[in-house]
Structures are given as C-alpha cells and as structure tokens.
Amino acid sequence: MRRIFSVLMENAPGALSRIMGVFSQRGYNVDSLCVAPTNDKSLSRLTIITEADDKVAEQILKQVNKLIDVLRVTELTGSAHVERELMLIKVATRTEVARAEVKRNVDIFRARVLDVTSQHYTMEITGTSDKLTAFADVMADCADITESARTGVCGLSRGDRALRP
C-alpha cells in the first residue's frame, strides 16, 4: 500500500542522511522524497512516499521517531490530507497539429506553458501523482517527450491537525 510520511526535523547537516539510513538499512524503497526548510529556518519538513504494509509502516514510524534530529513524524495516508507534486515537461512540437494538440491538453489538465521555441514547448503542471502521470501519458501520445522532471510529493494534514514541534 502507498504510504505518505511527514517528518518535522532539525535543519542540520546529516539529518536527512540519518533518516534515509533507516530506510536503506531495512531494505525499504523510497518512491518519492521532498524536503525543504519550514517557516522556522531551523526546521525542515520531509515528505516520504513508500510502499509498505501496516506492520512495515508502524516500524518506519517507530524507527524514524527514535532519531535525535526528528521532532515529529506522522503518516498522512489514513487521514484527510492535501498532497501535490510539480512536474516540468518538455515536448517536441514539430507540426501545427502537434502544437494544437499539446495546447488543448495543457488547457484540459490546467497546466501552464513556460517556454516556447520553434520546436518545443516546456510546461509545468501541479497536482496529484496520478494527474501528473496521466498528463505525461497524454503528452506522449500527441508529441515526443524530450525531457521531464518531477519534484516528489509534498503533503499536509487538513484542518486543525498540524505537525508542530
């Protein structure tokens, strides 16, 4: 099952490495990783996506929570939460038909065109991982994907729940 973990940690050298060590030492794969400082520059928020059953998820929570750099850790998967990911994608648009189809799909998916050359469009799209994957699949059907990059998922709990120190 896909799991989303949110970690509030010290913004210090080696902190991320120690948390990722928990995953690598136990053979857990990380599907997505997103980390950045919070509004308090001494803290960072880390969002980790992995595949895990209930037992493994519980182990991950316990092991990560033991680390000295970690202030709080929670699993967002089972509760109301908001998650978003950003993708930049560049496609080759060599014909007018391809250009028109790309622009039509950009509108349908509410993406944005960032750069246009005579041969390429570069776009950004935000949303769930499924939405980004669907957009990439549609783009591959109407144009050649030259390159793409994804940020990884960022997530927050909805409502009053918050990951605070």
SS3 state at 17: helix
60/63 Cα distance (integer angstroms): 5
The pLDDT, as a whole number, for residue 116 is 95
Instruction: Give the residue from 79, 112, 132 where a domain finishes.
Output: 79
> Could you list the mean pLDDT of each consecutive 10-residue stretch along the chain, which spans 165 residues?
94 93 91 92 94 92 93 90 95 92 96 95 96 96 95 88 75
Domain boundary (34, 49, 79) is at 79
The total of structural domains in the chain comes to 2
Asked if 75 and 91 sit in the same domain, the reply is: no
111 and 75 inside one domain: no
- If asked whether residues 52 and 96 sit together in one domain, one would say no
- Residues 80/159, Cβ–Cβ less than 8 Å: yes
Residues 66 and 129 in one domain: no
Q: Based on the domain organization, do 87 and 99 belong to the same domain?
A: yes
The residues with which 50 forms a beta bridge, in sequence order, are 3
pLDDT at 161: 77
Residues 50 and 23: beta-carbon distance below 8 Å = yes
- Residues 75 and 61: beta-carbon distance below 8 Å: yes
pTM of full prediction above 0.85: no
Predicted pLDDT of residue 162: 77
Residues comprising the chain, all counted:
165
- Residue 138: its pLDDT value, please? 96
- HSE, CB side, 13 Å, CA atoms: give it for residue 148: 19
Full domain range(s) for residue 114: 82-150
Phi, psi of 42 (to 5 degrees): -85, -5
CATH number at residue 140: 3.30.70.1150
pLDDT of residue 9: 95
Name the domain boundary from 79, 101, 133. Answer: 79
Q: Give the pLDDT score at 79.
A: 87
Measured between alpha carbons, how far is 1 from 52 in angstroms, rounded to an integer?
5
The pLDDT of residue 84: 94
Q: Which residues pair with 143 in a beta bridge?
A: none
Strands 144-150 and 32-37: unpaired
